[in-house]
Homo-oligomer: A and B are copies of this chain.
Amino acid sequence: MTTIKHIASQAGVSVTTVSRALNGYSDVNAETRKKIEQVAKELNYSPNSLARSLVKNQSETLGLLVSGFNKESVKDGFTVEVMSGINSYIAETQYDLVLFNTDSSKQRKKTYTQLCKERRVDGVILQGIKTDDPYLEEVMESDIPCVFIDIPVSSKHVGYVSTDNVEGARNAVLHLLELGHRNIGMINGHKQAFVSKERLEGYKQALLEYGISFKDQLVKDGSFGEKEAYRETMSLLKEQPDVTSVFCASDLMAIGAISAAKQLNYCVPEDLSVVGYDDIPLSSYISPSLTTISQDKFALGYNAAEMLVKMLKYQQPPEQCILKTELKIRSSTSATS
């Protein structure tokens, strides 16, 4: 492995000069620089980023801490599309991305700060962690620049990007209300997700606008899983036969809900309208195609990466970025008869 020293002796200059030449400093003669560059190419030199990072005290790497990058999440498509957005932005910068795993039962159980401090990442993006995750606290305590996805917390060194979940859920339910539905169930995610809290709030708001009182027994938690949503929808429909429509906090759960409905011989949308949340690729392909709240998952990741990089490169303060959502009306909803 050729180093800066080899180049120095080969070119007959000092290591200092080689370093400065290769890094484009001005106090090196044009010819010397030429010579050095040529030698560097001949010796097939590439700088050791470890050594560089060590002395400069910054690694040019960003941490990506996603919880739940597994088989199920791949099917969902949400997590990976966000990752794809992050990746896309980062690809155009000088940074590299290192993947930290959290949800594993890994032996070396490290804390967030340990993870980051060891690898000396310049900043971190966190995705999919729960509200009761100890990492959350650690992030706030440490002073590593970071940005959250879908978790609205911020401080001097942490920002976030999310979508307007209250508004999104509200629009979903308003859509059902406008179609004449009055008994609207909800399959939510789980208690440890910020988005679930917000989407429930949106659900309540919409009902309120139509003067309908909120009934606790109409909402169930499906923990964002297809199977679980199937199960919960089953019991919802059995317990509450008056329900004519259901709002699901994710498309995957909506798919589970539709399966359940079909199992109970409901026709969708004739007997039961279903609206989802996310607009994953699957949603437009299934039948009936899914009415849903579309959020730009790619942009979620892209913006997060952009914010983080700007914080690092230009010392910009963290922001709170809220993206718009859009109601996509397809075939899983219809007016009440």
Residues of A within 8 A of B (CB): 1, 44, 46-51, 53-54, 59, 61, 64, 69-71, 73-75, 77, 80-81, 83-84, 87-88, 90-92, 94, 96-101, 104, 106-108, 113-114, 117-120, 255, 281-282, 285-287, 298
Contact = CB atoms under 8 A, between A and B. Distances in A.
A229 to B, nearest CB: 15
18 contacts: A46-B113, A47-B118, A49-B118, A61-B98, A64-B99, A69-B87, A70-B88, A71-B81, A74-B80, A80-B80, A91-B106, A92-B104, A96-B98, A98-B99, A255-B285, A282-B282, A285-B285, A286-B286
Nearest to A49: B118
Given A84-B69, A98-B99, A54 B50 contact: yes
A272 B286 CA distance: 20
B50 A120 contact: yes
A70 B81 CA distance: 8
Nearest to A80: B80
A327 B234 CA distance: 32
A80 to B, nearest CB: 4
A298 B71 CA distance: 8
A61 B49 CA distance: 13
A120 B119 CA distance: 13
A269 B300 CA distance: 39
A84 B74 contact: yes
B49 A281 contact: no
Report, nearest first, the 5 A-B pairs whose CB atoms are least far apart.
A91-B101, A91-B104, A97-B99, A80-B80, A46-B117
Contact of A94 (B50, B108, B285): B108
Contacts of A100: 96
A285 B281 CA distance: 11
A88 B106 CA distance: 10
Contact of A120 (B49, B61, B97): B49
B48 A54 contact: yes
Contacts of A286: 285-287
A96 B115 CA distance: 10
A53 B295 CA distance: 41
Contacts of A282: 281-282, 285
Contacts of A61: 98
A196 to B, nearest CB: 23
A18 to B, nearest CB: 16
Contacts of A281: 74-75, 282
B53 A114 contact: no
A119 B106 contact: no
A274 to B, nearest CB: 15
A90 B101 contact: yes
Contacts of A113: 44, 46
B101 A98 contact: no
B46 A114 contact: yes
Nearest to A281: B75
A117 B285 contact: no
B118 A46 contact: yes
Nearest to A44: B113
